Amino acid sequence: MPLSRTSFVCLPCRASCKQPHPARTRDGEVDRRVCPRCAGALIHVGAAFAAPPHRDTEGWRVLSVLLHAGVRFHRSCCGGPGYRPRTLREVRERMAYAERTGEPIARALVRPELP
């Protein structure tokens, strides 16, 4: 059976790559992946990730906000990762909603519709 692969991104390079799932060491830590371009740390984003085009600066800014909030792109039982905002406007609306209601930012960012 082939090894399952998952996506990793390097935000400074705006690059994504697929690699085998990270393994845990004996200490319980996850092994760190290194960017092949800049030797910086790669961020594990999940198997259901589709990278924005390299020139799409807004898409990469949105992705940066999502990743720093702790949102990842793992597959669910129904197929995909669910809703993720694609524009800075959608991110701003959800961040304002989270601030107004006290809802955690990560939960507000993945909310498909705002009440």
Residue 95 lies in a domain: yes
Residue 115 lies in a domain: no
Question: In terms of DSSP H, where are the helices of 1-115?
Answer: 57-68, 88-101, 105-109
Residue 114 lies in a domain: no
pLDDT digit string (tens) for 26-69? 666 667 889 989 999 999 998 889 999 999 999 999 999 999 99
Q: What percent of the chain has pLDDT over 70?
A: 86
Domain of 27, in residue numbers: 5-109
Domain count along the chain: 1
Residue 20 lies in a domain: yes
pLDDT digit string (tens) for 80-114? 678 899 999 999 999 999 999 999 999 999 998 88
Output the pTM of the full model: 0.84
Residue 87 lies in a domain: yes
| Residue 105: Cβ within 10 Å count | 18
What is the overall mean pLDDT for the chain? Answer: 87
Look at residue 75 in the predicted model and tell me its pLDDT.
Answer: 78
Distance CA 80, CA 26 (A): 32
For residue 48, what are its two tokens?
Answer: 């259901």
Residue 91 lies in a domain: yes
Look at the block and give the residue holding tokens 């809802």.
103
